[in-house]
Amino acid sequence: MTQTHSASALQPAKRRRWNATDLGLIAVFAALVAASALVAAIPVGGLGVPITLQTLAVMLTGLALGAGRAFAAVGLYTLLGLAGLPIFSGGRSGLGILAGPSAGYIIAFPLAAAAVGWLAAVVIRRTLKFRAVLLFVSAMATSIVLVHGLGIAGMMINAKLDFSKAFLADLPFYPGDIIKNVLAVTVAMALHKAFPDLLVRRVRQLPQKAAAPNAAMPEASAPESTTPEASAQQ
Q: Is the pLDDT of residue 134 over 50?
A: yes
Confidence (pLDDT) at 221: 45
Helix axes 54-65, 103-126, angle to 10 degrees: 30
What is residue 6's predicted lDDT score, i.e. its pLDDT? 44
Average pLDDT value for residue range 127-138: 93
pLDDT, residue 83, reads: 95
Q: How confident is the model at residue 211 (pLDDT cuts 50, 70, 90)?
A: very low
Q: What are phi and psi of 51, to 5 degrees?
A: -90, 120
Distance CA 113, CA 132 (A): 17
pLDDT over threshold 80, residue 209 = no
Whole-angstrom Cα distance, residue 142 to residue 117? 10
Q: Is the pLDDT of residue 150 over 50?
A: yes
pLDDT by residue (tens digit) across 160-185? 999 999 999 999 899 999 999 999 99
pLDDT at position 177 is 93
Q: Could you tell me the CA-to-CA distances from 150 to 63, 156, 163 in Å, in that order?
A: 20, 10, 12
Highest mean pLDDT among 55-64, 97-106, 192-201: 55-64
Contact 97, 149 (CB under 8 A): no
pTM for the complete prediction?
Answer: 0.78
Q: Are 152 and 165 in contact (CB under 8 A)?
A: no
Q: What is the model's pLDDT at position 129? A: 87
